[in-house]
Amino acid sequence: MSECESCFTPLIRLDVNHLMSDVVGERYGISANELDAAQQAATAAFEAVKRNRGQGWLGWTELPYNQDDIVADIEQTATSIRKRFKAFVVLGIGGSALGPIAVHQALNHLHYNELSDEIRRGPRLYVEDNIDPERMQALLDVVDVKTTCFNVITKSGATAETMSQYLIVTEALKKAVGDGWQQHIIATTDREKGNLIKLAQLEGFKTFYIPSSVGGRFSQLSPVGLLAAAVCGINIRLMLSGAKCMDQRCATDRIWDNPALLEAVIQHVLMESGINVHVMMPYADSLKYMADWFCQLWAESLGKNVTRKGMAVNVGQTPVKSLGVTDQHSQLQLYTEGPYDKVITFLKVEAFRATTAIPHGCEEFPDVAFLGGKTLNQLIEAERQGTEYALLRAGRMSQTITLPIVNEHTIGQLLYFLELVTAYVGELLDIDAFNQPGVEESKIASYAVLGHTGDKYRLKQQEMAAAPASQEKYIL
Ligand code: PA5
């Protein structure tokens, strides 16, 4: 199937040839029999996700279907932002930032902010997902807060990084704008929980809600990602319709007919056989940050120390981001000759949105002249195939997800596909793919270090004081 049967748009494809033992070799490849043997477990995973659709932490499964009013509101708000502001700044971290960054890179011009106001489809966009003090100052050096809209995104409404940024920008706004500073802030948060919703109600901010059943890293197709996209003129309805196409393609429990389920079974088999590293390697700058988004989704969802029944497991696969062809000159040596502990996923683009010809020249240097008359499009794909072959020759496993073109629809498909794979793998591992207890510990410890006087932080201060002290002899 190369296009959607209902909307006739091109579909992304998963090619697992280079994972299979009859292609890559018996020693590390997976056999079709092995995958067929996992059908029963796959059916159970499929049924569990289907049964819980839209509930618990599976609210994201329904986002392509249940947001008509929200999408209309987002589009209307985006139109007004485009008229009123010169810059749009997202303040958020983790799941509240990586999706907006990935979609911006994929669907906006690669030098979007540098385009002239006439050509750009919306205000300049900045996604500030760190609290590096220099970066915050640098942002305030390049935007004029009087003409900037800040979208504060935090599901919990309590994240220290985002709330610190909120305090900084509100102070700057109050000074620069005075009355009406609230018109420069849009809050995206949980409808009930957390401090941001209380602040939003108090100050009267325009607010979008993150459904309680949608966790941060699964929230790109909610207002978290949709607003920034719409502000830049991205067609968010198409993105949702791409997600819907993928959902419908994955509506069967037969692994050879459901790409997300097949991919989940493969990754589960690989994890069980000690393939602990998953390299996401887009061969397109537009998909560079899709790898970052995937890394969070994969790491935070699947890196767990207990099953749902509390059995110790310590599972997960370390995701690594790698960019083709850039990282051929950095990481590929390790992938072809290092430990046999990795699977590489290529993201391939079939039709780039530009064709760049390589001019003829340097005829006296045959190896340079040989490139003349070809295109960068041919060169990047030749290098991807070359890398795929080098890995195959070294007995290393890879797979390819092909996007016929990068557009709203295929990006919607890709996001939903990877979310679904993650949910299925969570089922196959019998873990809670939607929590992140390992992150909490660091948050509490940081507040303890900062001297928060709440009970749990004071207890943490005592616990930390009793931890082994650093010894001078180990510091050079
Ligand atoms: O996936 C998750 O839930 C996390 O990565 C969160 O997105 C991240 O910690 C930020 O949380 P919040 O949106 O509550 O500020």
Residue 198 lies in a domain: yes
Nearest ligand 1 atom to the CA of 159 is 15
Average confidence (pLDDT) over 416-432? 98
Q: 342 phi and psi, to 5 degrees? A: -130, 150
If asked whether residues 232 and 263 sit together in one domain, one would say no
Active-site residue identified among 83, 111, 309, 329: 329
Please determine, for residue 133, whether its predicted confidence score (pLDDT) is greater than 80. yes
Please determine, for residue 275, whether its predicted confidence score (pLDDT) is greater than 90. yes
If asked whether residues 392 and 363 sit together in one domain, one would say yes
| Contacts for 90 with CB less than 8 Å, ≥ 6 apart | 96, 97, 100, 125, 126, 127, 128, 129, 151, 153, 228
If asked whether residues 215 and 256 sit together in one domain, one would say no
If asked whether residues 219 and 280 sit together in one domain, one would say no
Q: 377 phi and psi, to 5 degrees? A: -60, -45
If asked whether residues 285 and 144 sit together in one domain, one would say no
**d(Cα 277, Cα 322) in Å, to the nearest integer?**
12
Instruction: Using a pLDDT cut of 70, give the percent of the chain over it.
Output: 100
If asked whether residues 305 and 202 sit together in one domain, one would say no
Give the residue, by CA position, lying nearest to ligand 1 atom 15.
154
Confidence of residue 116 (pLDDT cuts 50, 70, 90): very high
Average confidence (pLDDT) over 82-107? 98
| Per-residue confidence (pLDDT) for residue 434, from 0 to 100 | 97
Separation of CA 89 and ligand 1 centre (Å): 18
| Per-residue confidence (pLDDT) for residue 440, from 0 to 100 | 87
Confidence of residue 372 (pLDDT cuts 50, 70, 90): very high
pLDDT digits (tens, 9 = 90+) for 381-409: 999 999 999 999 999 999 999 999 999 99
Please determine, for residue 227, whether its predicted confidence score (pLDDT) is greater than 70. yes
Average confidence (pLDDT) over 451-473? 94
| Per-residue confidence (pLDDT) for residue 4, from 0 to 100 | 77
Q: Is 215 in the pocket of ligand 1 (CB under 6 A)?
A: yes
If asked whether residues 136 and 271 sit together in one domain, one would say no
If asked whether residues 271 and 175 sit together in one domain, one would say no
pLDDT digits (tens, 9 = 90+) for 331-367: 999 999 999 999 999 999 999 999 999 999 999 999 9
| Per-residue confidence (pLDDT) for residue 249, from 0 to 100 | 97
If asked whether residues 110 and 255 sit together in one domain, one would say no
If asked whether residues 282 and 422 sit together in one domain, one would say yes
Give the CATH number of the domain where residue 77 resides: 3.40.50.10490
Residue 3 lies in a domain: no
If asked whether residues 37 and 130 sit together in one domain, one would say no
Q: Is 388 in the pocket of ligand 1 (CB under 6 A)?
A: no
| Per-residue confidence (pLDDT) for residue 8, from 0 to 100 | 80
Active-site residue identified among 300, 388, 419, 427: 300
If asked whether residues 132 and 222 sit together in one domain, one would say yes
To the nearest 10 degrees (0 to 180), the angle between helices 68-84 and 236-249 is 150
Residue 5 lies in a domain: no
Residue 466 lies in a domain: no
Domain closes at, from 202, 237, 272? 237
Give the torsion sign (CA, 115, 117, 122, 123). positive
Residue 125 lies in domain: 60-237
**H/E segment holding residue 74:** helix 68-84
Q: 222 phi and psi, to 5 degrees? A: -100, -175
Q: Is 156 in the pocket of ligand 1 (CB under 6 A)?
A: yes
pLDDT digits (tens, 9 = 90+) for 168-215: 999 999 999 999 999 999 999 999 999 999 999 999 999 999 999 999
Q: Is 155 in the pocket of ligand 1 (CB under 6 A)?
A: yes
Residue 475 lies in a domain: no
Residue 125, strand partner residues:
88
Give the residue, by CA position, lying nearest to ligand 1 atom 3.
216
Residue 278 lies in a domain: yes
Residue 228 lies in a domain: yes
pLDDT digits (tens, 9 = 90+) for 404-421: 999 999 999 999 999 999
| Per-residue confidence (pLDDT) for residue 1, from 0 to 100 | 59
